Amino acid sequence: MGQVKTRWYKDAVVYQIYPRSFCDSNGDGIGDLRGIISKLDYLKELGVTAVWLSPIYKSPNDDNGYDISDYRDIMDEFGTLEDFKELVKGLHDRGIKLVMDLVANHTSDEHEWFKQSRSSKDNPYRDYYIWRKGKGKNGKKPPNNWTSRFTGSAWEYDETTGEYYLHLFSKKQPDLNWDNPKVRKEIIDICNYWFEMGVDGFRCDVITFISKEPGLPDGKWNPVVVGDEHFVIGPRYHEYIHEVCTESWNKYDSMTVGEGQGITIHNAEEIVGEEREELDTIFTFEHQDADFYMHAIPRKFSLKKWKSVFSSWQKLPQNCWPTLFYENHDQPRAIPRYGKMEYRNEVAKMLAISIYFQKGTPYLYQGQEIGMTNFKLDPKDYKDIISTRVYNSAKKFFGPLGAAIAKWGLNKRARDLGRTPMQWTAGEYAGFSTVEPWMTINPNYKMINVEDSKKDENSVFNFYKKLIKFRLGNKIIIEGSYKDLMEKSSKIFAYERALGDERYVVISNYTDKVVKYKVPEEYKGKESKLIMSNYSSSSDTLKDGKLLPYEAVVYYVKG
């Protein structure tokens, strides 16, 4: 307790593990903690310095663990608290920190708090959640027009007490009432419980939703969600986050990263400014608008928009620290989102270069380091609650055409695409399990897997290994200034990182065509050398030239 925060995350590479799909140790088709323990040497070899675990708490799994029934215990399918303690020790022995997922906007409806809360209006836990009388003569109309992020009304009528409870997600995920100080104290105690067990930080799920507008007024219609403005960064959000930070997070050498719906470059500093003592960092979703309308509907990728978003976050004041990511459990794989499959190896390396030389904490999602890809899932294989609801609703209301359109969209955007089992070997079930896994395995596992990747010196895995080693401790990357280059190009993403008289010039071709480029005048005549590339034919020095399909180069320039 009482440690000074070292802000270790500023020189870290975080590896996200989706436990259900990482490694199955006991042959039930489901990944687990002992499966993760068996791969700790792999993580050490890769070179990552922290691991973020998606939820492992007790849960009925309505939303794959993001519906928690006991914050102080482990899901039966994943193992025990003893397994968890062994995992923490194994990570720390290898110099790897552990970040857990904190899901504090809502619980499962099977959590004891909610069981008590719904039992009667005068139960001591009633005010742990948000209950309201219905509208209309018989009180059977929802209290307002808010909608769930998982489709449908955000209100569920409960017969026991004749009132509605709020759920911004599934009806099995009732929202906690953060206006109740007892709820905030519970969350603080939960954080401290895990810190004392050795955890090094938290990824805070939908944390910007915790403060709702008093009176819960109707929202104005918008294409994404009704009532959005009434529960995103609500009126007491900062007060509540500051309270948790000062009573828990800041008492440990920790880091926090929030899932930042509603966060843009314009309000980032008030969310993650270090002097505010709130969140340390945030996941922003602005860059998703470059290839998805409203983060959801597929559209043609716009590199100009992509560059603009990343560059804006790079130019934040020094008291703000960005996060860098392409993939996570809520996103499809980057390939073939940003590049053609026939150039899979080059695309994976180009994307890595384009982001790993920026300022911020990079997050590497399991399988990304071997270039795992998307593939077309059959609707019967959808496991995610959003995928199944979207598909079934489209089919119900619009028939075969609606089902076909939904399937097309989901094959580009479904969260399931990033949750297929990790591809360890070319053997049966991709080495993930000894039995058929809980979810479909990508059929290309015989060509794309860890075992083969480690043997190939030109593999995506060995490239990431080299890149991570180069990045860690590199002051130009951690502390250097950032400058856009070739801003008007719709094909090339180029930027400079500079510290003193040393700089890196990073140039990435985001197309499958050969692209010409001219070096800015300021670099001509200066000493330069190639330090990283995804092609063996790249020029040894920085000069006017051509980039091959998806080629990425990094030059060191002196002076």
Q: Please give the positions annotated as active site.
A: 205, 259
User: Cα(407)–Cα(121) distance, rounded to whole angstroms?
Assistant: 43
Q: Rounded to whole angstroms, what are the CA distances from 538 to 213, 272, 389, 544, 546?
A: 56, 39, 48, 12, 9
Question: How many CA within 13 A on the CB side of residue 129?
Answer: 35
Tokens of 287: 């860059």
Closest by Cα among 290, 297, 237, 291 to 261: 237
Q: Residue 53, SS3?
A: strand
Closest by Cα among 197, 550, 484 to 344: 550
Considering Cα of 266, then 272, then 273, then 276, what sign does the dihedral take? positive
Do 515 and 548 meet the contact criterion of CB atoms below 8 Å apart?
no
- Residues β-bridged to residue 256: 202
Tokens of 1: 């307790």
* HEC assignment per residue over 101-138: EECCCECCCCCHHHHHHHHCCCCCCHHHECEECCECCC
Q: Residue 200, SS3?
A: coil
Closest by Cα among 118, 239, 125 to 167: 118
Which residue's structure tokens are 């102080």? 72
**Torsion of Cα atoms, 17 then 23 then 25 then 28, to 10°:** 110
User: Cα(101)–Cα(70) distance, rounded to whole angstroms?
Assistant: 14
Q: Return the DSSP state at 259.
A: E
Q: Residue 428, SS3?
A: helix
